[in-house]
Amino acid sequence: GPHAEWWRRAVIYQVYPRSFADSSGDGIGDLPGVTDRLEHLAALGIDAVWLSPFYRSPQADAGYDVADYRDVDPIFGTLGDFDDLLVRAHRLGIRVIVDLVPNHTSDEHAWFRAALAAGPGSPERARYVFRAGKGPDGSEPPNNWTSVFGGPAWTRVDDGEWYLHLFDTRQPDLDWEHPEVRTEFEDVLRFWLDRGVDGFRIDVAHGLVKAPGLPDWDGEVSMIEGSDAVPGADAGDTDLVEESAAGAGNRGPMFDQDGVHEIYRDWHRVLAGYEGDRALVAEAWVEPLERLARYVRPDEMHQAFNFSFLTTRWDAAALRRVVTASLEANDAVGAPTTWVLSNHDVVRHTSRLGLRDAGSRPKGIGHDDEQPDEELGLRRGRAATLLMLGLPGSAYLFQGEELGLPEHTALDDDLRQDPAWWRSGHTERGRDGCRVPLPWAADAPGFGFSPTGATWLPQPASWARYALDAQRGVAGSTYELYRAALDLRRDLELGTGSLGWVDGLPGADPATTLVLANRAVLVLANLGAGPVALPERAEVLVASGPLEGTTDAVSVPADTTVWVRLPG
């Protein structure tokens, strides 16, 4: 039918529940808050929402530390609230994807508590990765691995054993060689599939299986490595990130082991037993793109996040290579390419693009760092979005990008909650700056995020201009740009189209202008310094910013993208 494999072309909107909308008044967003605002999402024109974790959790990593995979944390509501959300979303034609965190549990999960209580050598400990330490009294960690958030990846418990955690101390890694771990997660999948979810976003999908023997490794692990997303590009390539290190970040013994694929083949079969094209999307920081594509082979997951844009400069040649390489790698396995400009782990793309080395620094920005140029970043951010939405495949939006929100770069250090901030000894700025509660109403306290005005992180006063009610119905606003683009994208079926680069458009310098055809649409992104003239009689469908010239001779200013339909 027409909806078969809906995920191949879907625009999926990430809801970060604690910062989307608060219904209870405690300043933390919740599930009823999401349900109340589903009309907004329907009007925006997205196909699906992905909900970041809302499960029972002590919130040591904002819910990516799960204590009970089958219940809703009281700060977010109840299972009944989740069911309501799902029913209402489906009624509006919005699919719902939930986040599954299988690499680690919370230290408050029943299994981990039992493991601590039972002691060394017990079957309870075998579900996690407990080991004896090194050195005469076992006081050295079992190997030299470091946590993604900084510091050693091992913590010692009272009886002297150590447990592995690729992330925070409060996120012990499960042992995926253990059969009980496998059956438990298949049951968790069924629990949510039975409730009616349309799919799962799989957290740290590349991390579950570790190299046998847990060998030492001298590579670097950090939150986000520079990308070597483009096959064949060497580390000296100035279009790419300077900190590339050839993607070494995710090739160590803790990531992307061959054995992990067996798990996803099993899960594929679980989902295939349900009606309605349920889907799995891999969050896997794996390079190069050919290696990432192994997660979306026909019998594995349906999509994998393509993080290439997060580390690509605002440069026509670099973007063209990344787009081509992404499409090729996915075409080779028959999977749709996905596109991501922002998410809850990286600096918002409007702010990345407002930095001097525009586009290539996804790590946090602090108040002591170079500050982004907000106007330039917004202009480029809108141009980047219109380019992304003109590409075939599936696109992910992060809540607030439809408002053009920038990163909050001036958060007081003592308000920051991200464990990546303090575990790294403050060398990482952390991810709080992209997680600030959304502004819904320009004139309300807390910009209407909560009925009491409370917000778990403060919003900059300057955000009134970004509030939804300041943009809705306002020609030229970022919100109306997203709406128009999503509308056209759906009507013109761009998501299932195919890309052709257009060379030799008069006046368009290929070094600074990207021109591509997708179905009836020509997408032109001007990354150069001066204007680019549009072909005569080109019909402008949507533009990321004001155009110049007269009706007969329209030109596209710098840092602007347009979609046009050519005559004939």
Q: State the catalytic residues.
A: 203, 283
When asked if residue 204 is in the footprint of ligand ISL (CB under 6 A), the reply is yes
CA angle at 231 for the pair 227 and 235, rounded to the nearest 5°? 55
Q: What span, in angstroms and rounded, lies between the C-alpha atoms of 471 and 40?
A: 12
Minimum distance of ligand ISL from residue 153's CB (angstroms): 12
Minimum distance of ligand ISL from residue 284's CB (angstroms): 7
When asked if residue 249 is in the footprint of ligand ISL (CB under 6 A), the reply is yes
Region 111-150 residues binding ligand ISL, contact defined as CB under 6 A: 148
Minimum distance of ligand ISL from residue 221's CB (angstroms): 5
Q: What is the dihedral of CA 74, 76, 79, 85, to 10 degrees?
A: 160
Q: From the list 203, 277, 287, 428, which residue makes contact with ligand ISL (rule: CB under 6 A)?
A: 203
When asked if residue 403 is in the footprint of ligand ISL (CB under 6 A), the reply is no
H/E segment holding residue 491: helix 478-491
Q: Which stretches of 92-210 are DSSP H helices?
A: 110-118, 179-195
Return the half-sphere exposure (C-beta side, CA atoms, 13 A cut-off) of residue 20: 26
Q: From the list 30, 61, 300, 432, which residue makes contact with ligand ISL (rule: CB under 6 A)?
A: 61
When asked if residue 421 is in the footprint of ligand ISL (CB under 6 A), the reply is no
Q: What is the dihedral of CA 497, 501, 507, 513, to 10 degrees?
A: 90
Residue 162 or 421: the one with the smaller Cβ distance to ligand ISL is 421
Residue span 478-507 as binding mask against ligand ISL, x where in contact by CB under 6 A, dash where not = ------------------------------
* Contacting range for ligand ISL; rule: CB under 6 A; set: 71-79, 216-224, 364-372, 505-513: 216-224
* Contacting range for ligand ISL; rule: CB under 6 A; set: 154-162, 218-226, 532-540, 543-551: 218-226
Q: What is the DSSP letter of 295?
A: G
SS3 of residue 7 by DSSP: helix
Residue 240 or 340: the one with the smaller Cβ distance to ligand ISL is 340
* Contacting range for ligand ISL; rule: CB under 6 A; set: 16-24, 220-228, 408-416, 556-564: 220-228
Residue 6 or 217: the one with the smaller Cβ distance to ligand ISL is 217
Q: What is the DSSP letter of 549?
A: E
Residue 20 or 167: the one with the smaller Cβ distance to ligand ISL is 167
Q: Do the Cβ atoms of 261 and 295 come closer than 8 Å?
A: yes
Residue 390 or 430: the one with the smaller Cβ distance to ligand ISL is 430
Residue 124 or 203: the one with the smaller Cβ distance to ligand ISL is 203
End-to-end CA, the chain: 31
Region 152-171 residues binding ligand ISL, contact defined as CB under 6 A: 167
Q: What span, in angstroms and rounded, lies between the C-alpha atoms of 353 and 312?
A: 10
Residue 149 or 447: the one with the smaller Cβ distance to ligand ISL is 149
Q: From the list 47, 175, 198, 345, which residue makes contact with ligand ISL (rule: CB under 6 A)?
A: 345
Q: What share of the chain is helix, strand, coil (3-state, %, to 5)?
A: 30, 15, 55
Minimum distance of ligand ISL from residue 363's CB (angstroms): 11
Q: Which strands, in side-by-side order, build the sheet including 130-131?
A: 130-131, 162-164, 154-156
For tokens 């019909």, what's the residue?
539
User: Who contacts 492 (Cβ-Cβ below 8 Å, separation ≥6)?
Assistant: 519, 520, 521
**549: its two tokens:** 């010239």
Q: Do the Cβ atoms of 205 and 250 come closer than 8 Å?
A: no
Residue 63 or 336: the one with the smaller Cβ distance to ligand ISL is 63
User: Who contacts 550 (Cβ-Cβ below 8 Å, separation ≥6)?
Assistant: none
Region 254-313 residues binding ligand ISL, contact defined as CB under 6 A: 283, 285
Q: Do the Cβ atoms of 346 and 428 come closer than 8 Å?
A: no
Residue 305 or 479: the one with the smaller Cβ distance to ligand ISL is 305
When asked if residue 221 is in the footprint of ligand ISL (CB under 6 A), the reply is yes
Minimum distance of ligand ISL from residue 225's CB (angstroms): 6
Count residues near ligand ISL (CB under 6 A). Answer: 17
Residue span 7-46 as binding mask against ligand ISL, x where in contact by CB under 6 A, dash where not = ----------------------------------------
Q: From the list 13, 50, 64, 162, which residue makes contact with ligand ISL (rule: CB under 6 A)?
A: 64
* Contacting range for ligand ISL; rule: CB under 6 A; set: 217-225, 234-242, 258-266, 332-340: 217-225
Phi and psi at 398, nearest 5°, equal -105, 130
**What is the Cα Rg of the chain in Å?**
23
When asked if residue 102 is in the footprint of ligand ISL (CB under 6 A), the reply is no
Strand-pair category, 303-304 with 279-282? parallel
Distance of CA 519 to the CA centre of its chain: 27
In the bound state, the residue with its beta carbon closest to ligand ISL is 64
Length of the chain: 568
Q: Do the Cβ atoms of 542 and 481 come closer than 8 Å?
A: yes
For ligand ISL, the binding residues (CB under 6 A) are 61, 64, 101, 148, 167, 203-204, 221, 223-225, 249-250, 283, 285, 344-345
